[in-house]
Amino acid sequence: QLQLQESGPGLVKPSETLSLTCTVSGGSISSNSDYWGWIRQPPGKGLEWIGSIYYSGSTYYNPSLKSRVTISVDTSKNQFSLKVSSVTAADTAVYHCARTTVDVRRYYYMDVWGKGTTVTVSS
């Protein structure tokens, strides 16, 4: 079945760029009905959507993060990636990747999530 796996450095220095990759297995990232996204969860806090991408490259970003976030897709590797620039301690969180799919009535929902990877911003 479909699985998502996040990877990337667990420690990033303040002011630098956080880079993560999500590898999709058991299915194709080029599916016509699916979007691929990033969600983060700071320690002890709730979920925050970062942004999503379609296999064609069209993107949607959280307005509060848009100026610092870039999401890209590599269909040849079945991967999509996240970059967050100028990080601060407030960007410390568990970062999850997830698939957004659609039901027969054209309603969207995130159904498959990666286990998440912890990123700490510290010098």
Q: Which residues lie near another protein (CB under 8 A)? A: 37, 39, 46-49, 51-52, 60-63, 96, 103, 105, 107-111, 113-116
Nearer to another protein, 110 or 119 (CB): 110
91: which strand partners? none
Compute the least distance from the CB of residue 61 to another protein, in Å.
7
Compute the least distance from the CB of residue 115 to another protein, in Å.
5
- How far is it, in rounded angstroms, from Cα 21 to Cα 72? 9
33 Cβ contact list (under 8 Å, min separation 6): 101, 102
Residue type, 23: T
Compute the least distance from the CB of residue 15 to another protein, in Å.
26
